[in-house]
């Protein structure tokens, strides 16, 4: 007998609120992401997209509401939080690699320190991941010796090394030179095809059209609308979304 878990949300954000002083940056956010689903979050700058990403792995506290990862409620702190956080891989706009560690060490550090994986196994897994993102030959180098696109692919490999259940990307190509954007998006498209559950904040509408199962549009701390990409791009419902899309063209 097989157990169908496909309908269970892997990430569940329920009635989440957050203020920065007077600014109500997350206003009663509700979002469910199913296993294997790719959700692209778009919206104007300042709408709360990054805050939402950070809330999902508790780099940010929330006021009220609950967040569940694979059915388990994220606690405020402690060992259980560290365990659940390991299920959520995060890739930021700035690659945040450890500057004084080699590419290989950047990828093995988490599994060795956090998961207690032995060095040989961690290195073997890391090399396979670096191969997958096309930078295996750079393994002994330091981050500064790599291009931005290569560093971002290492950051993806580093996140994958923790065997996360879901990957969060916060504008992963925004800091890259244009010619390097596609090499990073290609890795993300591949990851999506392989069935990874993904939440991706991006301004790359081509990626959204190609890889997203659902587009979530945020403005002013709210999820204003969500739809399948072809629906959203051809027939946005809200005036905010219409306005946002018209400015992209
Ligand atoms: P987005 O990622 O959609 O551009 P953010 O989540 O980064 O939006 O920010 C949403 C709003 O919250 C913005 O107005 C921003 O200036 C504000 N903000 C973000 N982080 C902080 C912070 N640490 N302290 C105060 N205000 C913040
Ligand atoms: Mg942001």
Q: What is the pLDDT of residue 40?
A: 98
136 CA to centre of ligand 1 in angstroms: 36
Atom of ligand 1 nearest to the CA of 45: 4
Give the tens place of pLDDT for each residue, 12-55: 999 999 999 999 999 999 999 999 999 999 999 999 999 999 99
103 CA to centre of ligand 1 in angstroms: 31
23 C-beta closer than 6 A to ligand 1: yes
Residue 97: C-alpha distances to residues 21, 102, 158, 161, 180 (Å): 31, 9, 9, 14, 17
Give the tens place of pLDDT for each residue, 49-95: 999 999 998 888 999 899 999 999 988 888 888 888 889 999 999 98
Q: How far apart are CA 21 and CA 39, in angstroms?
A: 29
46 C-beta closer than 6 A to ligand 1: yes
Give yes or no for residue 2 having a pLDDT over 80: no
- Output the pTM of the full model: 0.94
Buried b (16+ CB within 10 A) or exposed e, 157-173: bbbbbbebbbbbbbbbb
Give the tens place of pLDDT for each residue, 84-136: 888 999 999 998 899 999 999 999 999 999 999 999 999 999 999 999 999 99
Give the tens place of pLDDT for each residue, 177-186: 999 999 999 9
In this prediction, the answer to ipTM > 0.90 reads: yes
């Amino acid at each position: 007998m097989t157990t169908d878990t496909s309908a269970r949300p892997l990430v569940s954000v329920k009635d989440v609120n957050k203020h920065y002083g007077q600014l109500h940056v997350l206003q009663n956010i509700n979002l469910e992401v199913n296993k294997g689903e790719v959700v692209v979050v778009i919206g104007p700058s300042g709408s709360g997209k990054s805050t939402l990403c950070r809330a999902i792995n508790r780099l940010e506290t929330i006021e009220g509401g609950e967040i569940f990862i694979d059915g388990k409620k994220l606690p405020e702190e402690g060992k259980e939080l560290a365990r659940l956080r390991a299920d959520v891989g995060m890739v930021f706009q700035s690659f945040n690699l450890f500057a004084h560690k080699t590419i290989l060490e950047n990828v093995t550090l988490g599994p060795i320190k956090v998961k207690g994986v032995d060095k040989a196994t961690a290195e073997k897994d890391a090399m396979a991941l670096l191969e997958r993102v096309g930078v295996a030959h750079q393994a002994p180098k330091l981050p500064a010796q790599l291009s931005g696109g290569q560093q971002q692919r290492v950051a993806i490999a580093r996140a994958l090394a923790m065997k996360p259940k879901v990957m969060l990307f916060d504008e992963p190509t925004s800091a890259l030179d244009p010619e390097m954007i596609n090499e990073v998006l290609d890795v993300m498209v591949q990851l999506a095809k392989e069935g990874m559950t993904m939440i991706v904040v991006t301004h790359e509408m081509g990626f959204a059209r190609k890889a997203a199962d659902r587009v979530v549009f945020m403005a002013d701390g709210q999820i204003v609308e969500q739809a399948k990409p072809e629906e959203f791009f051809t027939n946005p419902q809200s005036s905010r979304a219409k306005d946002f899309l018209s400015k992209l063209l």
